[in-house]
Amino acid sequence: MILNQAQAKAVQDAMCALNNVNAKIKAMFGNVADSGVNVFEDELDTVTVVEVAMYNVVRSEYYSSQADFFKAYGLS
């Protein structure tokens, strides 16, 4: 898993809040110039988590829905 529990919970909370205003998440932890993690949801509701370092993808995770993301991270 790329995110730690606190990060995953923060993403979940933000997603739930954004759902109330018909919006999608696009968040970044850290800095892509050094190292960081991007989390975003596309128009098909796919949630992508990408770890980057020096502008290069280190690893990535893809979830077909918010529910799948929540389940993978053990969130309810």
pLDDT tens digits, 29-62: 998 778 999 999 999 999 999 999 988 999 999 9
What residue ranges do the domains of the chain occupy? 5-72
Length of the chain: 76
pLDDT, position 65: 97
CB atoms near residue 76 (< 10 Å): 5
In the predicted structure, residue 17 carries a pLDDT above the cut 90: yes
Q: Whole-prediction pTM value? A: 0.92
HSE-CB for 76 with a 13 A CA cutoff:
0
| pLDDT band at residue 73 under the 50/70/90 scheme | very high
